Structure 1
Amino acid sequence: MRILTVGAGAVGGFFGARLVRAGADVTFLVRPQRAAALRERGLRVTGPGEEISLEPQLVTADAPMGTYDLVLLSVKSTALEQAAKDLAPAVGPGTAIVPLLNGMAHLDFLDGHFGGAAVLGGVAKVVTTLDGNGDIVRMAPPSVVLTGERDGTPSGRVDAVRELLTAAGIDSPPTPDIVAAMWHKWVFITTLAATTCLLRGSVGEVNAVPGGAELARAVLAEAAAVAAASGHPVPQAELDVTTRTVTAEGSPLTPSMYRDVLAGQPTEVEHVLGDLVARARALAVPTPLLDLATLHLRVHQQRVAGSRAGR
């Protein structure tokens, strides 16, 4: 199976490196600047239980690439439009695309570009970041990719992808309803992002002050209410896990959106929070805390855009 990983950042680089280490035929589609850095330093993954260093196969959008059997799409939503253009030559009649983005809006976008039959559902569960050298640092245990046909039907191509991932040490259990799984991840990441970005602190810092845990629970309740009204209620067991995660005392956990805010970078606010609160409006579900977090991040987004325009 020829695999194209679109992006070699904290998510795509991590899963791609695992696949390469297991002997899979993986090529990374990257921008020229990232390609130069990877050619000079290699692709490296460090962290608990991780020590990978390899010379990856690379391709840039201006080079011939042929078609691939599997595309792992792991860019941020802010880069999705360009990524779709760049990977278009790699998508043939039998190509399966597994998007590992948060939220749901990217599905319609990808369907419009490549047709719904090509696009599987996908969920990534991993806690990684890039350090100052561009190396990938794994910060917590999860290493999970869920995928499936979006209509829930059994699928040989899904079985083949799951087998490939499992062989690389990436958990990929059967997921009969991948759309529901995407919604449940969306609720989790929205709760984590809204809480930490609103209060400007890690999970542990939020819960170290009076009212912090209560706010996290209230944000989760709003996000879960939107999912339920959309026909994808989060099971109580998953709600309990999310509650424990976002109310854990002393936890250093932060989502990438919060780290982007601290670094003065653009965020995925519209794809993750903006789309969710828009759906809430359409369903008449009140989400005052999520509305506030969305506005807060939109102000940040506008500030970043103005700063970049002035350079």
Structure 2
Amino acid sequence: MRTLIVGAGATGGAFGKRLIDAGRDITFLVRERRLAQLTANGLTFRDPSGESTTPVTAITSIATGTEPFDLILITVKAPALPAVIESIRPAVGPNTRILPILNGLNHIDRLSAAYPGQVLGGLAKIVATIDDSATVVQMTPLSSVTIGTLDGTEVDSKIVDNLSVNGLKLVVADNMLTRLWEKWAFIASAGVICCLFRANIGAILAAGGREAMEAAIAETERVAAAAGHPVSEQAHAMSTGMLLEEGSQFTSSLYRDLMAGDAAEAEHILGAMSERGRQLGVGTPLVDLTLIQIRAGGGSGI
């Protein structure tokens, strides 16, 4: 399969590296600056097992008349999505499948409106970043992607085969929308807890924050339940295990972005959760308070 990966950052770079190593046909769609880095130096990737550099094929635009790709992975952050929806259009044919790896759910609605019947659901579990030398750094062995159709039908076996490679655990879910809601509820509650109290989990618990933290978890899970996708007992246990662990140094990715002066996904994660709550008649007071704080601060961690 011809696969286009939109973005060669932490997630796109890590997944792309695994696919290239397995002999898959991979092209990256990136910005000019990233293209210059990849052209000059290749894709440098480091994980707990070591570091390597791989030549890659990368482009900054797709010409009209280009042969359609079979699979398009979208791995950029939410604010880039509107531009991506248009930029990939020449690469999309009638049999192309689009697999976005983004947080939340609004991107599914937008992509499905633009490309009806061609969008899959996807979520990633990976702890990765790009360092100052433009190296993609996977900090733990954890690297998995869960995919599934939005209507519960089977995923094309060619896509499953294409993504089944060493170093990347593939999970095929038959309840993908529920899985997406579960992750959204988790990252939204984690964002509320860390951004509202401006600390890691252990410090917030030590300061007496358990009751408020439990309320944040319950709040986002109520929205998921009202949407018809209640969080499973297993997913709830995972959330409480991570977000109520004494002494934990865990912080949410949204909080880390906020401290770096970039809260770009706050509206996609928390703003959209607040809006869904209003639409479903579910109050989200802690989400709303966190949004006010982030908006008033202009995305600054100060």
- Tell me the residue number matched to 1:238: 235
Query: How far, CA to CA, are the matches of 1:249 and 1:4 in structure 2?
Result: 42
Query: How far, CA to CA, are the matches of 1:100 and 1:50 in structure 2?
Result: 25
Query: How far, CA to CA, are the matches of 2:61 and 2:297 in structure 1?
Result: 31
| C-alpha spacing 1:41/1:254, structure 2 compared with 1 (3 Å) | farther
Alignment of 1:73-112 (within 5 A): 73-112=74-113
Query: How far, CA to CA, are the matches of 1:131 and 1:205 in structure 2?
Result: 27
| C-alpha spacing 1:92/1:46, structure 2 compared with 1 (3 Å) | same
- Tell me the residue number matched to 1:206: 204
| C-alpha spacing 1:151/1:249, structure 2 compared with 1 (3 Å) | same
Q: Quick check: 1:149 aligned with 2:149?
A: yes
1:118 alignment partner, SS class:
coil
Structure richer in helix, relative to its length: 1
- Tell me the residue number matched to 2:132: 132
- Give, as a single letter, the amino acid of the residue that structure 2 aligns with 1:259: R
- Tell me the residue number matched to 2:41: 41
| C-alpha spacing 1:300/1:136, structure 2 compared with 1 (3 Å) | farther
CA RMSD of aligned residues (A): 2.0
1:285 alignment partner, SS class:
coil
1:142 alignment partner, SS class:
strand
Q: Which runs of 5+ in 1 are unaligned?
A: 305-311
* Deviation string, structure 1 residues 48-85 (Cα, Å, up to 9, x no partner): 23534212110111657532100001111100011112
| C-alpha spacing 1:54/1:87, structure 2 compared with 1 (3 Å) | same
Query: How far, CA to CA, are the matches of 1:46 and 1:204 in structure 2?
Result: 29
Alignment of 1:296-311 (within 5 A): 296-301=293-298
Q: Quick check: 1:68 aligned with 2:69?
A: yes
Quote the offset at 1:282 in angstroms.
2.0
Paired residue total? 300
Quote the offset at 1:303 in angstroms.
6.6
Query: How far, CA to CA, are the matches of 2:244 and 2:96 in structure 1?
Result: 41
Quote the offset at 1:29 in angstroms.
0.3
Query: How far, CA to CA, are the matches of 1:164 and 1:280 in structure 2?
Result: 37
| C-alpha spacing 1:32/1:131, structure 2 compared with 1 (3 Å) | same
- Give, as a single letter, the amino acid of the residue that structure 2 aligns with 1:170: L
- Tell me the residue number matched to 1:12: 12
- Give, as a single letter, the amino acid of the residue that structure 2 aligns with 1:196: C
Q: Are 2:48 and 2:140, in contact at CA under 8 Å, matched by a contact in 1? A: yes
Query: How far, CA to CA, are the matches of 1:17 and 1:3 in structure 2?
Result: 13
Quote the offset at 1:254 in angstroms.
2.9
- Tell me the residue number matched to 1:308: none
Return structure 1 stretches of 4+ with deviation > 6 angstroms: none
- Give, as a single letter, the amino acid of the residue that structure 1 aligns with 2:87: D
- Tell me the residue number matched to 1:119: 119
- Tell me the residue number matched to 1:30: 30
Alignment of 1:48-59 (within 5 A): 48-49=48-49, 51-59=51-59
Which residue among 287, 292, 296 is the counterpart of 1:290? 287
Query: How far, CA to CA, are the matches of 1:250 and 1:135 in structure 2?
Result: 31
- Tell me the residue number matched to 1:309: none
217-226 or 163-172: which moved more?
Answer: 163-172
Query: How far, CA to CA, are the matches of 2:22 and 2:145 in structure 1?
Result: 16
| C-alpha spacing 1:279/1:191, structure 2 compared with 1 (3 Å) | same
- Tell me the residue number matched to 1:179: 177
20-29 or 105-114: which moved more?
Answer: 105-114
Query: How far, CA to CA, are the matches of 2:58 and 2:12 in structure 1?
Result: 13
- Tell me the residue number matched to 2:270: 273
| C-alpha spacing 1:160/1:214, structure 2 compared with 1 (3 Å) | farther
Under a length normalisation based on structure 1, what TM-score does the superposition of the two structures give? 0.90
- Give, as a single letter, the amino acid of the residue that structure 2 aligns with 1:85: E
Q: Are 1:162 and 1:173, in contact at CA under 8 Å, matched by a contact in 2? A: no
Q: Which runs of 5+ in 2 are unaligned?
A: none
- Tell me the residue number matched to 1:253: 250
* Deviation string, structure 1 residues 234-266 (Cα, Å, up to 9, x no partner): 111111111111122343333332222112124
- Give, as a single letter, the amino acid of the residue that structure 2 aligns with 1:108: D
Query: How far, CA to CA, are the matches of 1:216 and 1:46 in structure 2?
Result: 35
Percent of residue pairs bearing the same amino acid type = 40
- Give, as a single letter, the amino acid of the residue that structure 1 aligns with 2:173: T
| C-alpha spacing 1:151/1:62, structure 2 compared with 1 (3 Å) | closer
Quote the offset at 1:205 in angstroms.
3.4
